[in-house]
Amino acid sequence: MLYFWLKSAHIIFVIFWMAGLFMIPRFFVYHQESLEGSDEAAKWVEREAKLIKIILNPSIIVVWVVGLLLAWQIGSLADGWFHAKLLFVLVLSAYHGWAVGYARKLARGERKLTGKQLRLFNEVPGIGAAVIVILVVAKPF
């Protein structure tokens, strides 16, 4: 029974985390397109901070804790597909860290990337999620 609760929690919080990872670079694009120092830019700083504090950070913590418990519960810690999944989850976690850092830079008025670059960064979570789902469902190795 514990397995089903862990799996449910893991899926729910992965959805929350991925939603946040899809939203944050889009927020960055809109923020960057606003006039620096404007009320609109200030609103984007606030929106980005709320997204990070309310959705992204709590979700990543639950995903990691419940995911590792789930892997332990089903005995997959030594499986090849799990190691590959873990690698991609680490990549998404690094992306999460980059996004939090970039939000801080934008809040300070540093606009180091172009809108086009940020739109490309928006593809990272989708690619990562697709690979992870394939690894979990197909278990190719």
What pLDDT sits at residue 65? 98
Annotated binding residue 53: no
Handedness of CA 33, 38, 44, 49 (dihedral sign): positive
pLDDT digits (tens, 9 = 90+) for 46-99: 999 999 999 999 999 999 999 999 999 999 999 999 999 999 999 999 999 999
Say whether 31 counts as a known binding-site residue: no
Q: What pLDDT does 127 receive?
A: 97
DSSP 62: H
